[in-house]
Structure formats: structure tokens, C-alpha cells
Chain A
Amino acid sequence: MLSLYSSLLRLYPAAHRREFGEEMMHVLKERQTAANRRGPLSRIACFAQETSGLLRGAFQEHARQMIFPGPLSFSPRNFTMRSEFRFPKATALLMAIILLVVIMAIEKAKAISDSVPHTNAAIGPIQPAHLTIVPTLLIALAGVCVIAALSWLVLFALHRSGTQRLAQLDPSSQPRSGTGLHS
């Protein structure tokens, strides 16, 4: 069982393993020893709980590292993010404009749909709008992605992308970001 726990610990991100791996193995050993003393049922229950806990924990740690590679804190009262994850104001404005354009395009499409007859001898009956909404949204999403990529390329060419601006910062002059509650 301990060798299985050890294998499951290898599923954790390397940073987490370095920091807590030895402690976790120590706790797992103590728990398993205590469960062994209580009997076979307790041993099985302990094994099931620890195995599922390690799998879930490894998944959560990987997910956290993929989404937020650095320390990050959430709090209903105090939401703070590391500077790497802050959107520039221009990006928020651009996203708002894109959303507005998409909404206007949908409204215009609805108006066009209402203005034309729903049966046409040459092309047959016109499909209801709800049958075309999904492809429309997909096209709109693709358009948004293209616009975002082009915007990023422009910022990159101007050396104004987030990572480039961060790289220009002097880390020694930056105060450490605040943290809050994450529970």
C-alpha cells in the first residue's frame, strides 16, 4: 500500500512534491499503521480514502498550476491577483466593444429574418432562427478569436504585450502582491 501511495504522490506537480512529498508520505505511513491496528475493514477504508484523496489532490494541484501558475488568493471581500494575470484596461475595452458588435450583429440578423417572407418558391422554406443560432455563434466566436489574436500581434509588435511589459519591470522595485482568503 505504501508503494502505491508513493506512486500516487508522483502524480502531484514537482513543486508540490518537493515541498510536501516527504511530509505527506510520513502522514500516510502513520495513518496506515493506525488503520492496520484497528482491523481489515479499517485498513480498506483508510486505503480507499487516501487513494481517492491523493488522486483528487493531484488533479486539483495540476489544475491550479495550469490556471494560476503562481500564488493566488480569493476572497469575497478581498480579491487579489498577481500582476501577471491582470488584464490591461485596453483589453477589457476591446472585449466590451467586440461583445457589443456581436450583439448588434445578432439583432440585425433577427431584423433581416423578420423582414423576409418565411416561404420562397425559389429556395424553399426559410429555417427558423434558432436552427441557425449555433453556427452563427461559432462564427462569431471564431471572429472574436481572430480579432484577439490580431490585437495581441499588434501589441507584441509594439513590445507592449503583458509579458513584455512584465519583463521590462525591475523585480527588486516591485512590492510583493497582497494575499487574502482562499478556502
Chain B
Amino acid sequence: MTEPVLLILLSLTSHPRHGYAILQDIERMSEGRVRLSTGTLYGALRRLLEDHWIERFHGDDQSRGKQAYRLTALGRRNLQQETSRLRHLAQLASLRVARKEA
């Protein structure tokens, strides 16, 4: 899973968001380090929709420009697996680095 995809999924964990809100949240989460372009965002959203990791959310604002997305159960499960994999990797890296320094 690439970093942009991971950040998009993380952005949708708490509640549904539309495209611009996702971009803002990613910038906030990464402290300005990751700034996705609109083309990149919608390429990733299209793939995630196809894979049923996210779905369209029809809230109060029904305009196409404000189309919101939310995580599906499958997306949440896969995100949990990915975070667990990353945690394991980070622990392993810490151990190895510490051993090398000792």
C-alpha cells in the first residue's frame, strides 16, 4: 500500500469526507509533508472504489462536487492489517538499529 493510499484511508476512518476535505486532512496529518494533487487523489479514489475499500456516502449535500466517501468494512479491515504490518516493521527496524548501535 502506498503512502497516499494509506493517508486517504486514514482520513476516512473517523467520518465521511469529500475530495477537498481529504486533501486538507492529509496535509494536516502529514504536517505539510504530503500534498496530493487532485489527479493523484482521484486516481486512488477510483481504485479504492473498484476494490470496495471505500464507498460513496450520500449525506445532506447531494451535489456531485461535494460527493463524500467513507470506508467500507473491508477497507477498515485491510487498513487494520496494514497498520499492524507497519507496526511490526517499525519494531523490527528499531530493534535492528538499536542492536547495531550497541
Residues of A at under 8 Å CB distance from B? 16, 19-20, 22-28, 30-31, 49-50, 52-58, 60-61, 71-73, 179-183
Contacts and interface: CB of A to CB of B under 8 A. Distances in A.
Contacts of B41: 27
Mostly, the A contact residues are helix
Given A23-B19, A26-B65, A30-B20, A73 B51 contact: yes
- Pairs A-B, 8 closest by C-beta atoms: A53-B37, A57-B39, A26-B65, A53-B39, A183-B1, A183-B5, A27-B19, A22-B64
17 contacts: A19-B46, A23-B18, A24-B19, A26-B19, A26-B65, A27-B38, A30-B20, A53-B38, A53-B39, A53-B40, A71-B50, A181-B1, A181-B78, A182-B47, A183-B1, A183-B2, A183-B6
Contacts of A55: 39
The contact size tier of chain B is 20 to 34
Interface of B: 1-2, 5-6, 18-20, 23, 35-47, 50-53, 64-67, 78
Given A16-B46, A26-B19, A31-B20, A58 B51 contact: no
Contacts, number: 84
Contacts of A28: 38
Given A53-B37, A54-B37, A180-B51, A24 B20 contact: no
